[in-house]
Structure 1
Amino acid sequence: MAQGKRQWAPALAGATALDRAFAGLGALLGIGLTGYISSRAIPEAGMMPLIVAPVGASSVLLFAVPSSPLAQPWSIVGGNVLSGLVGVAVGQSVGDPILATGVAVGLAILVMSLTRCLHPPGGAVALMTVMATHQSHGANFFYAFNPVGANSLILVGLGWIFHRFTRHSYPHVAAAPSRRLHGTQDEPPQTRGGVRAEDVDAVLADLHEAFDIDRDDLERLVQQVELRVFQRVTGPLACGDIMSKDVISIDLDATTAEARKLMRERRLRRLPVIDRFGVLAGMVTANDLIGDDVFVSAVAKPALVAKADRPALNFVAQLSDGRAHEFVVVDDGRRVIGLLTQTDLLVALARQAAG
């Protein structure tokens, strides 16, 4: 019985009940405001619809799956407008309305695919535009820009504002691929023995399926799953278990000359910066201390932080990308209680591998 219910449940990976509630609220506000803004912008529209039906389908993608490639601004605006142009062109050149609808939707898919703005509601726009062209005998290409394009632009703008409050990434920026930070030909450390881009491409080719997720997002997802499985198999390893607890730091009101001296004496490359209450204020590196003698507060930069109870393996990716070398472990008051370095993590993993 439970299996049967699951088969009928919405297959939206990663979505929570709160996400679905926000999606409904976003569509309510988005469609309502799009219609209102359109009516204020073109009050003399007469019989022309102020909001076209396919925009309702666009709102489903925009508010329910904002990370989908099909829901990005260019997909919504470009897909709808280009499909509208295709619909008008086919409607004016193909006399049979039944044939015209099929030709318009097929060409719309082709055009959207070639211009990298595939958007499912675009098929509805093409069909609707063909029908409007045959019924009115006077529909022109401007229809694709107003109301179709205008509605799409307004909806995307409202979606951008809405997702600022829901903390979703929109427009969604796919995960950046691992970089060769030092300009060498070697693969980045985090991909040498794990999932690589060519592995993802090969599996996608074998499956012969198109998935509604950005390819780089898919690669990152698989890498995170791989890391989570390793963490489950090897057992929990918290930052507090392996961090260095006797942390050498520098006061915020110290000078860069004092910081350089401390680094030389202790053979350090970086120093956490704390205020007089022991609260983390930033981090300085040897490169930050080059130049005239100034206060450390003038050159300190934000530090990467972690909590003692966080799984240490969560930071493998950042500690192996060539840019981050340590995390400052802080308590709830941001007071420094430890330092998690690449060396700490490497030794701990080696011990786990040895049993």
Structure 2
Amino acid sequence: MRAFLDRWLPSPITAGRREQLRAAAGALLGLFITALLSHLLLAPVGTAIFMVAPIGASAVLLFALPASPLAQPWSAIGGNVVSGLVGVACVQLLGDTLSLPMLGALATGLAIAAMFALRCLHPPGGAVALTTVIGGPAVHAAGFDFVMLTVLADTVVLVVVAMLYNKLTGRRYPHAQQSAQPHPHATADAVPTVRLGFKPEDLDAVLKQYNQVLDISRDDLESLFMQTEQRAYQRRFGIISCADIMSRDVVSAEFGTSLEQAWQQMRTHRVAALPVLNRARRVIGIVTQTDFLEHGGLDDYRGIRHQLQRFLRKSGVTHTEKAEVVGQIMSQHPTTAQLDTPIVDLVPLMADSGFHHIPIVDAEQRFAGIVTQSDLVAALYESRFAETAA
């Protein structure tokens, strides 16, 4: 019997207690503000009904499931309003010919079809359609005004509150679909991490074969698959951290390091980038050969040596628009990683985002070393070789 019951019980909720409290508090705040503002907006125009019950169901989606495709602004506003309009139309056209149960079922079914057609599927919309049918004389008398005033005002206010609350509490809403990641070198090739293993086309094919509505956005599902692959890789090869492979004796620069000195350091040590540190050895930027080329106006290969010499040479004046020190050309706020960051986490950064050097910082955010693409490739090769030998 226990095994039979377990088959029908839902899976445990993975959201932590803090996330559950965040959603509950958001729904409480959202519904209170919605009721208050809707009453203030609708009372002057003589609307007696200023809040509808399905808005409570909308609040569950907008605050507890802000990443759901069913909770997005167009889904919420379009789904509720379109469903309400369908319900009112059914009452006015067929109210005298069908029984109330039949009319409610018809209105809800047509509302679902309309939401599918307009890509605004929102479960509370079905309740809105049903409410317009069984809401009684007051709702029937209001007709389309009930939808275009009460339902629309309630939904819009709730959506606006959800946008603000989710942003303030660290949740992305609206949860727009992420566009395909462009190649870092602006070519037509797919980014390296999708050329082998899991591909977006595989997900599209499986979703088409599954042929059901999923309460998760496609880009979130793809991201979950990619993260699952990374965890599986860690389990297979063991966790190699940045501290295991990084270079520790690293040539660095300060904000006030002259361009000539920085360039000479890069040439002498045959490196393509210098981390820029402050006096507390915290990373404030990174300067690369590309920065020298871009700021030096070296787009034309003709006369490049002369242009580079002129760019590196000090102007000799106190006030000039010409860049004189590293801090004026460096890339600020570079992407960094921690000492204990698994190297597999660096793969998408270096392969897809085009980063060639990742500064590594300790628990106090002080510079500890640097990982280059060469370091990463060597580590992955060694781990693969070790697995093959085993």
From 99, 115, 135, the equivalent of 1:112 is 115
Task: State the 4+ residue runs in structure 1 displaced beyond 6 angstroms.
Answer: 1-6
The aligned counterpart of 1:38 is: 38
Q: Which runs of 5+ in 1 are unaligned?
A: none
- Where do 1:1-355 residues align within 5 Å? 11=11, 14-44=14-44, 48-95=48-95, 96=98, 97-132=100-135, 137-289=140-292, 290-291=295-296, 292-300=322-330, 301-355=332-386
Counting matched residue pairs gives 355
Q: Which amino acid aligns with 2:339?
A: A
Deviations 1:76-121 (A, max 9, x none): 1111111112222222112324433223222221222222211000
Work out the CA distance in 1 between the residues paired with 2:338 and 2:81.
49
Moved more, 335-344 or 174-183: 174-183
C-alpha distance in 2 between matches for 1:266 and 1:221: 41
On the 8 A contact 1:62/1:71 being kept in 2, the answer is yes
Q: Is the 8 A contact 1:327 1:341 kept in 2?
A: yes
Q: Distance in 2 between matches of 1:159 and 1:236?
A: 39
- Greater Cα radius of gyration, structure 1 or 2: 2
How much has 1:8 moved relative to structure 2?
Answer: 6.7
Residues 266 and 273, structure 2, Cα contact 8 Å, conserved in 1: yes
CA distance in 2, matches of 1:195, 1:134: 56
Contact 1:51 1:151 survives alignment (8 Å): yes
CA shift for structure 1 position 243: 0.8
Q: Distance in 1 between matches of 2:281 and 2:139?
A: 75
Cα distance in 1, alignment partners of residues 26 and 12 from structure 2: 17
Identify the range of structure 1 (1-10 vs 297-306) with the bigger mean alpha-carbon deviation: 1-10
Identity of aligned residues (%): 40
What amino acid maps onto 1:172 in structure 2?
H
The superposition leaves residues 262-295 of structure 1 with CA deviations (integer Å, 9 ceiling, x where unpaired) of: 3233333222111123221111222323233333
**What is the alpha-carbon distance in structure 2 between the residues aligned to residue 281 and residue 4 of structure 1?**
59
Distance across 1 between alignment mates of 2:3 and 2:182: 43
RMSD after superposition:
2.4
| 285-294 or 81-90: bigger deviation | 285-294
Using the TM superposition, name which of 120-129 and 261-270 deviates more. Answer: 261-270
Task: Specify the code of the residue in structure 1 equivalent to 2:288.
Answer: T
Structure 2 residues without counterparts, runs of 5 or longer:
297-321
C-alpha distance in structure 2 between counterparts of 1:269 and 1:81, whole Å? 58
SS in 2 for 1:268: coil
The AA in structure 2 aligned to 1:264 is: R
Deviation digits for residues 203-246 of structure 1 (CA, Å, limit 9, x no counterpart): 22333332111112211211110111111111111110011111
CA distance in 1, matches of 2:4, 2:253: 61
- Compare 115-124 and 171-180 and name the one that shifted more: 171-180
